[in-house]
Amino acid sequence: MSGLAISFADIEAAAGRLKGWAAETPLIESPALNDRLGLRVLIKPETLQRVGAFKFRGAFNRLAQLTPEERTRGVVAFSSGNHAQGVALAARLLGMPALIVMPADAPRVKVEATKGYGAEVRVYDRLTESREQIAAAIAQERGAVIVPAFDDPHIIAGQGTAGLEMVRQAEALGAALDVVVTPCGGGGLLAGVATAVKALSPRTALIGAEPAGYDDTLRSLQAGERQPLTPRARTLCDALESPCPGELTFPILLRHVAGMAVVTDTEVAAAVRFAATTLKLVAEPGGAAGLAALLAGKVDTFGGRTVGLVLSGGNIDPDLLARILRDEI
């Protein structure tokens, strides 16, 4: 893994730190989904993870490695919601203060949960203010450590534990994964999962799913270098609204990812409905991006029949979920 931000050993070390703190989410199967797709889909529901998303893995792995002095000064993060909650809960469990910079239009359920875990929240206007500048100023003032959402080796390694668990759980079921599909924003989850999966099952193909209008990872992989984009509109997938892959995540994606699927809001809403009504799982739009890609026939399985799918988060605003279930979106 020379030249890349993390190694498989980093993910194994992260798994050791997370033991007893993070949930080892199950690998589940839906005959209805299998029948619809003509595939065997093994679902990793990180919707059942602490804080309702995979983000707790990376946040805890990062914060657990802070020195006693750093813990006293606390941490600062910026996030639309799931990373915010992960950092907030990890900070509470490890006994340190946390401040999260969140957009004013973040889903209310995510803002309230972040505050509920004990973090201080600083709201900003995403159109007129820079969350990075705000976080940097607060960190400098307090001597706090900034905890990035994805572009940090400890964060990536923590997220990779989901892939580590997935492959080993599939092996326990007697299954070999032909393809693994995961949502992709800045690339922390996909990079971590890809590193773990490729180490344990080199033949497995990795596919990312990102929302239309935010297909920066697809464009970057096609170009062979990071391609920032200027979003022209919002997407239902608020958790995936990253305009560019990370400096650390992109080289990993370039080495390991076989393809990207781009999904529309309509396809994502259909996946959220399917998750709720058929899988009996609550998934937020960004968390259901991989499922949306599968349901829309946008995933190349390269002739394989067994697919691992990460449902990455379930923190959806109740009003939005109700509208989706009523087929209003």
Catalytic residues: 55, 312
Provide, for the chain, the percentages of residues in helix, strand and coil under a 3-state DSSP scheme, each rounded to the nearest 5: 50, 15, 35
- Strand duo 28-29 + 205-211: pairing: unpaired
Angle at 8 between CA 225 and CA 209, to 5 degrees: 45
Gap between the Cα atoms of 123 and 78, Å rounded:
10
SS3 assignment, position 26? coil
Q: Residue 150 belongs to what H/E stretch?
A: none
The length of the chain, given as a count of residues: 329
Q: Is the dihedral of CA 156, 159, 160, 163 positive or negative?
A: negative
